[in-house]
Amino acid sequence: MEKMPHWADVLLIPLISLLLAALLSALVILAIGESPAAAFNLMVEGALMRSAGWGYTLYYATNFMFTGLAVSVAFHARIFNIGGEGQAMLGGLGVALACLYVPWPHWSLALIGASVGAALFGALWAYIPAILQAKRGSHIVITTIMFNFIAAAVLNYILVNILRPVGAMDPATAKFPDATHLPTFRDMFSTADTILFRGAPANVTFFVAVAACVVVWVLIWRTRLGYEIRSFGESETAAKYAGISPVKITVIAMLISGALAGLMSVNTTMGESERLILNSTEGAGFIGIAVALMGRSHPFGVFLAAILFGFLYQGGAELALWTSIPRELIVVIQALVILFTGALDNMVRMPLEKLFLALRKEGA
Amino acid sequence: MTLMTKFLGAAAVVALSAGAALAEPALIFDLGGKFDKSFNEAAFAGAQRWSEETGGTFREIELQSEAQREQALRRFAEAGSNPIVMTGFAFGNVLEEVAPDYPDTKFAIIDMVVDQPNVRSVVFNEHEGSYLVGMMAAMASESGTVGFIGGMDIPLIRKFACGYAQGVKAVNADAVVIQNMTGTTPAAWNDPVKGTELTKAQIAQGADVVYAAAGGTGVGVLQTAADENILSIGVDSNQNYLHSGKVLTSMMKRVDNAVYNAMSSGADLETGFNVMGIANGGIGYAMDEHNAALVSADMQAAVDAAASQIANGSLSVHDYMADNNCPVE
């Protein structure tokens, strides 16, 4: 028998966690002498009330959807992939190589080519820790963290010594050719007399991310491979008994996970900066862990959680622009949400479970 | 939809009235942050000086992510901030795209050239100032070996190194200049530990004066030089006071003046190419009570003579960035 109804698990717990985080954030803002209500208004106004604000919210959300899905897929096989950051960095390299060295006739083909490049490089970077885990038992949490650092060093070397144009100061590649320019929301939704999403970086990749959510859902719950991944995650011994190869499932789950993380860089590298810069991932690989936890590793949950985190990022930018709340404190607010929704899950869950049990006894 | 248009309309009205009423300037700091003890902090000091003298207020933001570069520029421009000042070459690409969308707003970018009609590009002749402190280093050195420690290995820092080497060789053609860069990423601007290691390595090779052009990394260089009892040369701001009697001088790059000037001219900011050199006080070397005992009258006379020659054009210092090449090693 379940301890509490399903709706409480997926809705009530995240909501209560969010409320707690909001409450603490309000106290923090109050402590430095600013008004929490005004700050919250500013965040909502800046992130959700203007089309350009939505453009930024959805841009960040696109990143978090990919990395959240990456963590989710691995998590269904009970593998904790902390390496989304490194896989996304390498994915960026795949995007850059595809965009710079292939003369694409049209952006749609370029998008497909760059996506393949990103997924390949991301998957490749996940493959090594996966095979080490599957064949040698090296703990994947440790190896994927280490591979984040190696990825940063590799990218640094390649950008500085190989891909940087002569005389440029930025450790970045040259600008991608115009043919690879992805349509932004502004290009897609503006009409002649109303300009929407002005200057916002959200682009067609958002729809790729939404499609990825659907594909992951089909993969996990409607295919044989998804069934194998889930049964391996539930019980390795039972899966083995049923003839599922642990090596194969570990490697395949990590390959899919790495490919999804790599796809994130299509959004940042091809959609936004249109050249590969050194810190294009900016921690989205790690935010993906919080997104997956909050979304309960379900694609729809990941979708919602990603938009929430996108809102937090864009709202945070608005706070930085218009108030004297320092940048460090905005990070504290974002971290509080991650802490409560991700790490302190049981703090809310356990009292709730008790409450529901007590209610049920009364009813019986 | 009507709600949306209402909000948009309201925002536009607010933006318009704000632009007409105050036109306060805005300052955007790069990812390094406002208090980096160096470049960004100098910019902040200039803005504060403007604010204290005029009683005006300015908007500011410390960036958190790359995507915010364009966002900050557009939001400030739409809110009527004028002029908008930004620090660092990394804004170049973005400003190139954003500036044409806001023809009535003036932008000022420091350390980068952006060729748009409403942009002032402020660049400094760091090679001239480095030449002067190079002369002083060669005159103060007893071993005939001096050191240079750069931050991130970019053409801009090589420009410092090249000017410095030319100054050293002008005084003592046989002098040896040891050059090291801290790293190849922006992290190299803030790595005092590596600065310490490089300084020790240069001392082991005989250097007795080191010049740090490395942002926050320089703090480690100056500290180690003072601990090991050799002389050091600071950069950007006057850093003589950090170790009184151990810092020979500082190469002054007046980022604060550039920001102050831009904010003072307000919406009438003169756009175009703005070179800050020795002639207009944008570049110089620092003399105060902390290094008075280290710099002899002869030394100062020689350096001042060179400075006036550079200012009137009779002495030209090679600029590394002109051809990505340095005539001396």
User: What is the ipTM for the molecules in this complex?
Assistant: 0.79
Interface residue A364 vs chain B (CB under 8 A): no
CATH topology of domain B2-124+257-276: Rossmann fold (3.40.50)
Rounded to the nearest angstrom, the minimum Cα separation between B138 and chain A is 29
How confident is the model over B126-166, as pLDDT tens digits? Answer: 999 999 999 999 999 999 999 999 998 888 899 999 999 99
Chain A positions in Cβ-Cβ contact with residue B76 (cut-off 8 Å): 321
Which amino acid type is present at position B267? A
Give B159 to chain A, closest Cα distance, Å: 12
**pLDDT for the residue numbered B22:** 55
Q: Is residue A25 part of a domain?
A: no
Neighbouring-strand partners of residue A344: none
Give the Cα separation of B231 and B249 in Å (integer): 9
What pLDDT score does A290 carry? Answer: 87
Range of the domain at A91: 62-194+202-302
Query: Do the domain assignments include residue A5?
Result: no
The token pair that represents A123 in the structure block: 């998957």
Identify any residues that bridge with B29 across adjacent strands, giving them in sequence order: B62
First-last CA distance in chain B = 66
Q: How many Cβ pairs within 8 Å bridge chains A and B? A: 75
CB contact under 8 A, B74 and A199: yes
Closest alpha carbon to A210 in A11, A314, A58, A96: A58
pLDDT, residue B325, reads: 86
Which residue, among B71, B156, B182, B321, would best test binding to A if mutated, counting the most A CBs under 10 Å from its CB? B71
* Beta carbons of A62 and A206 less than 8 angstroms apart: yes
Inter-chain residue contact A280 with B66, CB threshold 8 Å: yes
Q: State in words which class domain B126-252+296-323 has.
A: alpha beta
CB–CB contact B64 A199 (8 Å): no
- Among the partner-chain residues B75, B155, B185, the one whose CB lies closest to the CB of A321 is B75
Asked whether the beta carbons of B13 and B46 are under 8 A apart, the reply is no
**What's the mean pLDDT in B239-243?**
91
Using an 8 Å CB-CB cutoff, list chain B residues near A201: 67, 70
In the chain, the amino acid numbered A328 is: E
Closest CA to B61 of B32, B85, B29: B29
Residues of A in contact with B154 (CB under 8 A): 169
> Do B71 and A166 lie within an 8 Å CB cutoff?
no
The number of folded domains in chain A is: 1
Q: Do A321 and B66 touch (CB under 8 A)?
A: no
Q: What Cα–Cα distance (Å) separates residue A129 from each residue in A138, A156, A257, A293?
A: 8, 21, 12, 22
- State how far residue B62 is from chain A, nearest Cα, in angstroms: 7
Residue A108 lies in a domain: yes
Contact between chains at B67 and A56 (C-beta distance less than 8 A):
yes
First to last CA, chain A: 14
CA B109, B114, B117, B123 dihedral sign is: positive
Which strand (E) or helix (H) includes residue B108? strand B107-110
Query: In this structure, is residue A44 part of a structural domain?
Result: no
Residue from B24, B44, B51, B65 to probe the interface with A (highest A Cβ count within 10 Å): B65
Vertex A246: Cα angle to A244 and A248 (nearest 5)? 85
Q: Are A65 and A303 in contact (CB under 8 A)?
A: yes
Describe chain B by its helix, strand, coil percentages, rounded to 5. 50, 20, 30
Q: In angstroms, rounded to a whole number, what is the distance separating the alpha carbons of residues B40 and B28?
A: 9
pLDDT band at B168 (very low <50, low <70, confident <90, very high): very high
Domain ranges of chain B: 2-124+257-276, 126-252+296-323
Cβ pair A317:B64 closer than 8 A: yes
Q: What is the CA radius of gyration of chain B?
A: 21
**How many angstroms separate the CA atoms of A73 and A77, rounded?**
7
- Contact state of B184 with A160 under an 8 Å Cβ cutoff: yes
pLDDT tens-digit map of B1-20: 444 444 444 444 444 444 44
Which tokens hold the place of A355? 């409450």
For residue B301, give every residue at least 6 positions away whose Cβ sits within 8 Å of its Cβ, in sequence order, or none.
Answer: none
Mutation choice for B interface testing from A282, A321, A329, A330 by most B CBs within 10 A: A321
Q: Is residue A35 part of a domain?
A: no
Average pLDDT over residues B43-71: 90
Site from B75, B87, B98, B112 to mutate, A interface, most A CB atoms within 10 angstroms: B75
Min Cα distance B67 → chain A (Å) is 7
Contact A59 B67 (CB under 8 A): yes
Is residue B321 within 8 Å of residue B155, measured between CB atoms?
Answer: yes
Residues 6+ apart with CB under 8 A from A299: A69, A72, A213, A214, A216, A217, A220
Residue B21, SS3 per DSSP: helix
Opening angle at CA B118, ends B81 and A175, nearest 5? 100
- From the list B74, B89, B98, the residue facing A169 with the nearest CB is B89
Give the orientation angle of helix A51-76 with respect to helix A284-294, to 10 degrees: 70
- Per-10-residue mean pLDDT, chain A, length 364: 76 88 91 90 90 92 97 95 96 96 94 97 97 94 94 89 82 90 90 81 95 97 95 93 94 97 96 89 90 90 94 90 84 85 82 88 77
B184-206 tens-digit pLDDT: 777 788 889 999 999 999 999 99
| Residues of B with Cβ-Cβ distance to A170 under 8 angstroms | 89-90, 93
